[in-house]
Every structure is written in structure tokens, then in C-alpha cells.
Amino acid sequence: MSSSIRLRQLAIAVTAAVAAVGCGVSSTESDATAGQYFASFGYNYVPAGSKADLAAQSELVVKAKLVSVEDGSYIGDSPDDETASRTARLTFRSEAHPDPIVLQFPRPRNISPAEIEKLVADFDQYVLYLRQPGLSENSLKYMFNYDPTNVWALSTPQGFLVEADGRVTNPLEDEKETIFDGAQSLDDFLPEEGEKTLR
Amino acid sequence: METDGMSRPTIRKSAALVAGLTGLAVAVSSGVTADTFGNGPGDEGWRPDNKDHDWCYRVSMPNPMRSKAADAHFYLMNATTFTGQQQNCNSGTDVKWNYGGTNFLGAYVCDDLNGDKCDDASIFVNDTLSLPFGNVGHTMCHELGHSTGLRHGGTTDCMKSGRFTTTVYNQHHKDHINSQARVK
């Protein structure tokens, strides 16, 4: 792997030099697709057994639209750790909830927030099953540039539904069974009682 | 996406996006039990850059967890054709182990996509939800499997999501791992 590292370091150095002289060349375009971006991270989690179960685990279930993607926190050994894992802050707005809803998703170093925003440009609307993030003390200790304001977490990856061109899919979920069998429109993916707001 | 406060990004790669979403929809509805193996563009998951799978521990990893993570790597090397050794963390380390997380048992994150490969990745083991150790071992094996390109699937091995104690890959997954195309 050492030769590839040297090549990448050389490429980074050249890119940095180009940027330094003001050529305006983007160094972060990765040619990834939205599906590839969302496949760049995965979770082990306890799947909800049904839509009702997922709703019961959730404090907030909303239909929402994405309004911005920004650089988020990073996780490493220290604030200046260049090998840290990066995240993006995806901010949503929902008519059912008065405040912005922020989700932090991982992002590879070479996919910028601006590129993520382009990748999801065709995503018209979302259904999100959410609860408060369960960040432990140890997590927060090594998470830098973290702004907890309005941050939520998916109850499980099953709770991230995307509508694009009239089709609803879950780009995070690759299990072969779904708790939303028979659902067609985005509203079908909501709990039977509709959106769930804070009590 | 709303347009207030920002211009709607130029629509691009829509065909690829639709194709990707269609593929996901087909996979969800097919009911098949065989899982997929990441192959970069047009597929799910990301293969590592090669079979040399070095690893390191971030300072958040306590010693007992380091030992468990090492066990997962040693098992991978014994059960498949992957190799690797522990090293100090650097930008090229294939797997960086972290302790801590959000609402999930564990997470795999590709930190650097390079063409159709993932050059280096991080694994996060939840410091509260994955206990007791049996679940930690399963989660470590699960996330390490992601780093070799595996996606979810199977009924009896590490790549099944949830609280399990299994810490082995079935033959199907071993075959996938060993078929990783680019050999060092």
C-alpha cells in the first residue's frame, strides 16, 4: 500500500499547489453516485420488526425536505488529527416540526459537502424516523467541531426513506426484507397514525 | 430539496441515480437470501484496495477492546487469504478502530474512496450498546466484514445485523472475501 500512499500524497501535494495559485480546480469531485456515497458506510443495529415497532422506538417521525449540507464534526485522536473520520451535517425542514432537523452522516474525505448536495439533488422528499442521538461521554471526548444544536439520529437505518421521481427507496438499507412491504407512496411509509411529533 | 437560500444543484448523474435506486428496490423485493458483495460503482459496498488489511487503534479504544479487535483480524487472516498487521494510525491505515458511537451497535465508514476501491476506513464500536463481550465480538466481525467489501446478509454469521454472538463468516462470505479482485 505504500506506493499508492506516495502517489496519493503526490496527488494531494500537486492539488494543493494548484489550489494555492488560484486556479480554482476542485479537488473533491469523486465521481461517486448517490448510491455509492450511501454505501460508503454501514451499521450493525437491531432491526425493528415492523413499521409500528420502528415508530414506537422513535420520538419524531416526519416528512421532510433537505435544505443544506455542510461540513460536520470529525472523530479522531485530537483536534488536529488529519486521519480523522469526517461527517456531513444534513439539515432538513418539516412542516410538522418547528425547528431544523440535523442528521450527521459520515463522509469520505474526498467527498465534499457540496458534492453530497449535488448527489442528492434528485431526492425530492424524505420520511425520517428519529430519536435523540445516544452519544456517550467517550464519543464526545473524541468528536471535534460538534454542534449538538437540533441534531437527531435515525432510530435505525430502516428509518431513512427517500422519494425520487415518484419512487421511494432506502439508500442505507440493504437487508433483503423490508418492514414496509406494500408501501408505495411516501405517505405509506409513515406510521398508521401519521407523522409523530414531540409530545 | 427546497431552493430557498440556495440554488438547486445542477441535476447530474440522474440516470445512474435512478439505476441505483431501482437496483435497491429490486434487491428489497426479490426475497433472495444470498447477499451482495461490494464492487464499487453500480454495486453496493466498497472493496478494499487490496488484501493487505493493516489496522490501528485510536486512543479511544481501551485495551480489552483492542484485544477483541485483534482477534477479529486474526480470525480474518486465518479464515481467508487476507493478511495484515497492527500499526500506528496514519492516513493509509486500512482499518482504524474507534470506541464510541451513536444509537447503533457499530459502524463502518469508508474514509477515502479511490476509484472503485476504499483505501482506508474506520470502524466504530458502540461503547455501551455492544456489551456484553459476545455482542462486541459479533459487531467487530460484522464491521470488519464491511471493510472487506461484504454487505449485510446471511442467517448464521457475522454479517447478519443485530445482537448476536457469532464471530465467524460462513463459506459464502469467505468465498466473497477471497475473490477480492486486486491482490497485493
Smallest CA-to-CA distance from A154 within A37, A42, A60 is with: A60
- Least confident residue range of A62-71, B2-11, B96-105, B168-177: B2-11
Domain range holding A104? 31-189
Domain match, A23 and A94 both: no
Closest-approach residue (CA) in chain B for A139? B100
Give the CA angle between residues A12, A34, A38 to the nearest 5°: 85
Nearest-neighbour CA in chain A from B79: distance (Å): 21
Q: Do B68 and B136 form a contact (C-beta atoms < 8 A)?
A: yes
Domain match, A42 and A17 both: no
Pick the residue of B22, B102, B131 with the most A CBs within 10 A to test the interface with A by mutation.
Answer: B102
Q: What's the residue count for chain B?
A: 184
Cell of A2: 505504500
Task: Decide if the complex's ipTM is over 0.90.
Answer: no
Domains of chain B as residue ranges with CATH:
36-178 (3.40.390.10)
Average pLDDT over all residues of chain B = 75
Domain match, A1 and A61 both: no
Domain match, A24 and A100 both: no
Q: pLDDT per residue over A110-139, tens digit each?
A: 999 999 999 999 999 999 999 999 888 888
Cell of A66: 433537505
Give the CA angle between residues B62, B63, B66 to the nearest 5°: 90
Domains identified in chain A, total number: 2
Nearest-neighbour CA in chain A from B152: distance (Å): 6
Pair type for strands B47-48 and A143-144: unpaired
**Contact assignment for A43 to B161 by CB distance below 8 Å:** yes
Domain match, A127 and A73 both: yes
CB pairs under 8 A between A and B: 235
pTM, two decimal places: 0.80
Query: How far is A62 from A96, CA to CA, in rounded Å?
Result: 7
- Residue A126: inside a domain: yes
Domain match, A101 and A6 both: no
- Residue A36: inside a domain: yes
- Residue A196: inside a domain: no
DSSP state of B89: -
Cell of A41: 458506510
- Residue A195: inside a domain: no
Predicted local confidence at residue A13, as pLDDT: 40
Domain match, A88 and A155 both: yes
Q: CA end-to-end span of chain B, whole Å?
A: 43
Q: pLDDT per residue over B12-41, tens digit each?
A: 333 333 333 333 332 333 333 456 665 554
- Residue A55: inside a domain: yes
Domain match, A25 and A36 both: no
- Residue A63: inside a domain: yes
Domain match, A60 and A133 both: yes
Q: pLDDT per residue over B66-92, tens digit each?
A: 999 999 999 999 999 999 999 999 988
- Residue A144: inside a domain: yes
Domain match, A128 and A166 both: yes
Domain match, A16 and A43 both: no
Helix axis angle, B133-147 relative to B63-79, nearest 10°? 50
Max Cα–Cα distance, chain B, nearest Å: 55
Domain match, A45 and A25 both: no
